[in-house]
Chains A and B, each alone.
Chain A
Amino acid sequence: MAFLIFLLPVFAGGIDTLYTKANAEYDKELYTNAVDDYLQVIKNGYESPEVYYNLGNAYFKLNDYPSAILYYEKAKKLAPDDEDINYNLKVVNTKIVDKIEPLPELFLKRWWKSFYNVMNSTTWAWLTIISFIAFFFFLSFYLLSNKIVIRKFSFYLGILAVFITILSFVLGFEKYNAEHNQKEAIVFVPTLTVKSSPSESSVDLFVIHEGAKVKIVDKVGRWYEIRIANGSVGWLPVDAVKKI
């Protein structure tokens, strides 16, 4: 752990003060100021589920729903199981124009998702390391001990440790990908026509409105190929959306 702390840059005291100040402004209903200060915290290169969540709240109070959704989604990415984040996201999603019925996900995929969402990628990384060390620990026991009981015991524990190592590495990798890759985006244009191919002259497929969440599948020039929750696919210009 000491190693990890060493790796992180030293927190500037100012950032925490700024965050506290922003919270105080929110409490006083000075939402515009609070938004500015939260953004300042993020601009300084820091993030946390809390700061994204609070920023989303401030945007909500200013009736800027697309921004609120964007930051709630960012918060959710860091803390997928946080009840408050999920609740507020649900509330703000009732305020936008589009109601997109999501396709039901395969239950295995859903389980897998909820499994790797149990911890964040850093925790998965530490679990991998600890179980890997444990594996060698048991391995050396197995090799050195003369006693049959200890050898047997450490053999099985060693196999368990290998299993945990591989599993947590794979889960950690999934989680890392989910956290790291910006595969989703929020629409920031009041009304957006989704095209059939990446050109202005192509056929209009359907219309989505600001606040809608899209999944980015591909990119060609200044166009994204996107998929919305109900499975529809189309193209839209890059600057119409903001990545989560």
Chain B
Amino acid sequence: MRKSVLFILFIFQVITSAAFAQDVVFTASARDVVRTGERFRITYTLNADGKEFRTPDMKDFMVISGPHTSQSSSIQIINGKVSRSVENTFTLYVVGNKEGIFTIPPATIKVDGKEYKSNEIKIQVVKSNNQVQQQGNTGGNSSSRGSVNSSGASSDIKDDVFIRVTVDKRNPVVGEQVLVTYKLYYRINISTPQFNKEPAFPGFWVNNLLLNSKSYKQYEETYKGKRYNVAEIKKYALFPQRSGKLIIEPAEAMCQAQLKAKTQKRTNDPFFDNFFNDPFFNRYKTVDLNLTTRPVTINVKPLPSQNMPADFSGAVGEFDFSSTIDKTECKANDAITLKFTVSGKGNIELVDKLNVKFPPDFEAYDPKVTKKITTSQYSVSGRKTFEYLIIPRNPGNFKIPPVKFSYYSLKKKKFITLQSSEYDITVAKGDGSSAGMVYSNVNQKDINYIGTDIRHIKVSESHLKPVGVFFFNSLSFYLWLAAPVILFILFVIFWKKEFEKRSNIALMRNRKATKVARSRLKKAHLFMKEGKKDEFYVEISQALWGYLSDKFSIPLSNLSMDTVQETLAGKGVKDELIKTFIETLNNCEFARFAPADSSGTMENIYNEAVNAISLLESELK
């Protein structure tokens, strides 16, 4: 039972949280009926965190202020489940001037990227009651704006009470002080004006000069031929932050003025008339006045861009820069205090950082910044001190380079760079424990990377080549590729021709071999008949060797019994035949140099030779 209850609770919670996550409710609410000139509230409520709240386009109403945002959130923890609910409220204060029934279109807001619309509101505006006005200001909501349209009596009221904005210069440079004064001119009795729209100075850094003064400076002044009481109700030192046309937006203030009342006849009774028309009773009536200033355009010139120091951070005015150090010799791990002071006139509050380069081994903490800004009636000046606490961790000699501070001098119309002094710091070994730390291996440190930067340029010679010229895929590349092919083809052609030539010679000799052998043998036959033994053998051996040489294209010098045997075997001649041939050759050589000679041996040799050649001839065919 308990379990199931828990489970139901759990489910319920899941459902509610899911519902919260899904359903964004964005509603608008306002009063249904208002009077003309009455200030009322329109409230937009959103149960989630939204962005980009956009007010609807209200042509029939005037927005006095807002949207004001307020947020309430609650966190619930049920059974360990955390649920959070948020309610964002946007409030607009609005005045309607026309009578009638008007519809305010929905406002839009973005929640998680999705746009939501509120409901429309219908508001009826009814005529205001003069009675209320005459009785004066009774409360914020019911008061009406006693401007020109309220009654005929105040037609010239604009000339009697107004606020003028004066600036001391209209063409300053960026960062130059501009004095803005809101002067209240009045010729009738008024109350202290309350600003419901404070002056706004987009693009300026603002210093309120009257923050501490309790009373206004007042005097009399003639303006456009009329004598006025003047009160300086607001005074600012403005420092333009960017160049270009900057606009001081109009401010709105409200005050109550006492006007002479029109004599109204209430009754016909002369007694009562006199009584009630007595100044004591009804001379004055109180009227709410809306005072609006005119926008003022200030043309801000940029600082000269040339010769701008690299470390210039926007300080404009006249400044002094100094530094002090409490000690330049110390032991490791002792603290050193280094102070930089910027003082002078100008936008001193904008000096927010000094570029101090401590030796990397120093432990430096963020500076303690103390400022003393004095605002006088006419300018802002002061002093700003940056106190650095540094602790050298390791002994050695260190140098703190001079710190530069640059500002634009309005007097000299140029940039001025001031330098603090350079400090040489000698750090001695600290107490044993800490100094030893450095040298022992136990506490080795990783290299400390202080910053990242790009690497330096390459200063080696550049291998400049024409842009867009590629060897690859170019004509010369293909020529180079074609060259070996052409060379190879030429080579092959040449080689083939040479080969052919050579083989032709061999062929010729081959063909002639038999013929030559035959003629030689014929000659030998003749010599044999004549009995010329030497000549016969010469012819026979020449016939045999020459035949072999021609037939197998072996140079004569290479001929020997072995080569003959080899070549013949290589040509596939039968072993028997080779033997016969070799024998014939041997016999021939033998008989040639044998002492005994006869025509019989010559005959034999001759026959053998003829036989061997003819056999070989037939074999090779």
Contacts and interface: CB of A to CB of B under 8 A. Distances in A.
Interface of A: 3-4, 7-9, 11, 15-16, 19, 23, 26, 41-42, 45-48, 50-51, 53-54, 57-58, 60, 84, 87-88, 91-92, 121-122, 124-126, 128-129, 132-133, 135-136, 139-140, 143-144, 172-173, 175-176, 179-180
Interface residues of B, number: 35
A172 B481 CA distance: 14
A48 B464 contact: yes
Interface in B458-487: 458-474, 476-477, 480-481, 483-485, 487
Contact of B472 (A7, A58, A140, A176): A176
Nearest to A83: B455
Nearest to B458: A50
Interface in B431-459: 452-459
A139 B476 CA distance: 24
B488 interface: yes
B10 interface: no
A91 B452 contact: yes
B470 A47 contact: no
A118 to B, nearest CB: 14
Contact of A121 (B456, B462, B471, B492): B471
Given A4-B476, A143-B492, A179-B470, 9 more contacts: A8-B469, A23-B459, A48-B462, A54-B457, A58-B457, A91-B453, A92-B454, A129-B484, A140-B491
Contact of A140 (B454, B460, B464, B488): B488
A180 B459 CA distance: 26
B309 to A, nearest CB: 13
A8 B466 contact: yes
A179 B471 CA distance: 12
Contact of B473 (A23, A132, A173): A173
Given A122-B470, A129-B481, A136-B488, A19 B462 contact: yes
B470 A121 contact: yes
B476 A60 contact: no
Given A176-B470, A176-B473, A8 B457 contact: no
Nearest to A51: B462
Nearest to B469: A8
B431 to A, nearest CB: 41
A50 B472 contact: no
B495 interface: yes
B472 A47 contact: no
B472 A57 contact: no
Contacts of B474: 7
Q: Which of A11, A46, A144 gathers the greatest number of chain B CB atoms within 10 Å?
A: A46
Given A122-B470, A176-B470, A16 B464 contact: yes
A53 B456 CA distance: 10
B467 to A, nearest CB: 5
Nearest to B476: A7
Contacts of A179: 470
A15 to B, nearest CB: 6
A132 B462 CA distance: 31
A174 B181 CA distance: 73
A51 B473 CA distance: 25
Given A4-B471, A173-B472, A50 B491 contact: no
Nearest to A54: B457
Contacts of A139: 488
A242 B466 CA distance: 20
B92 to A, nearest CB: 32
Given A15-B464, A19-B464, A139-B488, A3 B470 contact: no
B463 A48 contact: yes
A8 B469 CA distance: 9
Contact of A136 (B469, B470, B485): B485
